[in-house]
Structure 1
């Protein structure tokens, strides 16, 4: 509806100061021409909105203009109440503020919405926290949060995936919580990189400040990072044949990493293709499925599984012999 779009334009400009017509059109999923018509309509209605051309131009509101909207729609209020996670907000010191905001939103909506909000909160609960989540927030979270807010350089000791630790100077841009794990988006040597907070061994806030890149957009960066990460990590492909009873376990262990080929055959078996990080991860899945799985391809995985199985059998037999030998010695001693 046009009225909703006009309000959305004002709110976008109020929060972002200035935006191009193309950026507004992309946000609201309309044409640039539609945005320009809407801006003209807002100006005629008395909203102090103006557009400037050329380099650095765009659409903006008068800096002293503010709009307050006390009338939330029912669906908007429901979305707000369901989308925020108190546990993660508490970890960055915003737990009490979030609870107060919930109360204010509930009080701001019309009275006849209250029953609907209560109904929704008792029927849908979104919990992004992983099952085995530490009760305490990750170390250095508060220091890194302060550095992000104040655009301060940090000196950090970080542990890479291979166990090696390095000391680096970072420009901390943003914090991201994904599946209850915190990540830092930081610029190092001119390039944006992503760091897992649990791998920091030491953090020192420096007194020097940096200037954030003006065109950095956190949601856009994070979505690109997810796509690049998935492409980089899913480098090993293999195909297995297993009994259909194993399918729930397969999906729990490797969600989103498998392509199932058709329903089970007469023997109750099916084929699936996988993309994972390494051959070691593939072997872990094979041994986890035990005697109900067959490696179809590649041949190197078949050979690796056989070799590992032989090593396990050999190690077990040697351990058994040592235990027998020890038992015999104990009997002689008795």
Structure 2
């Protein structure tokens, strides 16, 4: 959120007195070009950000500068505080400090209405997340081992562009040097990560999760019947649920046919029946037969 970064930048300058574009770029994890663009935006709304060249120069605000609350409407002030509150789970320590400062400036009591934690129970995943984050902001190419949904293992060199959270899963959106195309990599399938010293210039796409980019395979309307005792899971996963005469819960939803779909269906064990389409129903039968052979 640009507005959020601009306010952080103003308070950083008020606190530090003077700094440089590279320091700001590192602090806010953006490019130097973005920093100078932000400075132009701040200047255009009347915030006197000055830049000086040469030894001892830098970026600074006048010593007597005070943020004018009248520049921001009451509604905008509340929206800023609400947005900051929603971000505390992403970078808790820094965002809570900024939230406190902004609440003080606007003379408003913030409402503790949300708590977010995107992490899972595996420490190694947090380490991977931080490594990818560093590579994205430093624009360094990466090497890693990847297991695709086609069950093949490959070594990849990529230009990491954006971390994406979708349907309870983290993905890395990157430009694959081997495929010469953009790809989404599920973080749980990435291993042996190395950040190289090779710098790239490619910028992240504005919108990664557009429907036409997510689903490159055909989608099917899958009709399922769930046992009544699974109601808690059914209502967690589906918006539209009907009850059949025998008490089962009927659901119809669209899915691309892949391993994730079959893993999801099999996670319900014997308490779900796929009613249609027929070929997905038969595939479930085959997987159950394979499991019977093993056990």
Q: Does TM-score exceed 0.5, indicating one fold?
A: yes
SS in 2 for 1:133: coil
Tell me by how many angstroms 1:276 deviates: 3.4
Query: Which of 132, 140, 143 does residue 155 from structure 1 map onto?
Result: 143
Separation in 1, partners of 2:225, 2:191: 43
Match of 2:38 in 1: 15
Q: In 2, distance between residues paired with 1:295 and 1:178?
A: 25
2:219 corresponds, among 214, 230, 235, to: 235
* Aligned mates of 1:159, 1:307 — CA distance in 2: 23
Aligned residue for 2:52? none
1:84 shift after superposition: 0.8
2:97 paired residue number: 100
Q: Are 1:275 and 2:254 counterparts?
A: yes
CA distance in 2, matches of 1:297, 1:242: 13
Distance 2:47 2:264 in 1: 63
- Runs of 5+ unmatched residues, structure 2: 1-9, 11-33, 49-58
Mean Cα deviation higher: 98-107 or 174-183: 174-183
Task: Evaluate the alpha carbon distance shift between residue 251 and residue 104 of structure 1 in structure 2; reply closer, same or farther with a 3 A threshold.
Answer: same
Displacement of 1:202 after TM fit?
2.3
* Aligned match of 2:243: 264
Q: 2-side partners of 1:162 and 1:306: how far apart? A: 20
* 1:197/1:69 CA distance change after superposition, 3 Å: farther
1:297 correspondence with 2:285? no
> Per the alignment, in what secondary structure is the counterpart of residue 154 of structure 1?
strand
In 2 relative to 1, CA 296–165 (structure 1 residues): closer, same or farther, beyond 3 Å?
closer
Q: 1:192 aligns with which of 155, 165, 182?
A: 182
1:100 is displaced (CA, Å) by 2.0
Query: Which residue of structure 1 lines up, in the alignment, with residue 87 of structure 2?
Result: 84
Is 1:75 the equivalent of 2:78?
A: yes
Instruction: Tell me whether 1:165 sits opposite 2:153 in the alignment.
Output: yes
Using the alignment, how far apart are the partners of 1:307 and 1:84 within structure 2?
45
Aligned runs of 1:1-334 on 2, under 5 Å? 15=38, 68=67, 70=69, 73=74, 74-86=77-89, 88-89=90-91, 95-110=92-107, 113-114=108-109, 117=110, 120-121=111-112, 124-129=113-118, 132-135=120-123, 137-178=125-166, 181-189=169-177, 190-213=180-203, 216-218=204-206, 220=207, 222-224=208-210, 228-229=213-214, 231-232=215-216, 235-242=219-226, 246-252=230-236, 255-256=237-238, 259-260=240-241, 263-264=242-243, 266-269=245-248, 271-278=250-257, 281=261, 285=265, 288=268, 290=270, 295-303=274-282
* Number of aligned residues: 241
User: Contact between 1:283 and 1:305, CA under 8 Å: does it hold in 2?
Assistant: no
Deviations 1:74-118 (A, max 9, x none): 5224413421133x42xxxxx4322321221122112xx22xx2x
Q: What is the alpha-carbon distance in structure 2 between the residues aligned to residue 209 and residue 223 of structure 1?
A: 25
Output the aligned Cα RMSD.
Answer: 4.5
Structure 1, unmatched stretches of 5+, are: 1-10, 19-42, 49-62, 90-94, 317-334
Question: Which has more helix, going by share of residues?
Answer: 1
- 1:232, CA displacement in angstroms? 4.2
Q: Cα 1:267–1:276, aligned 2, differ >3 Å: closer, same or farther?
A: same
Q: Secondary structure at the match of 1:139?
A: helix
Closer, same or farther: CA 234–246 of 1 in aligned 2, 3 Å: farther
SS at match of 1:138: helix
Rg larger for: 1
Counterpart of 1:223 in 2: which secondary structure? coil
Question: 2:17 maps to what in 1?
Answer: none
TM-score (norm 2): 0.59
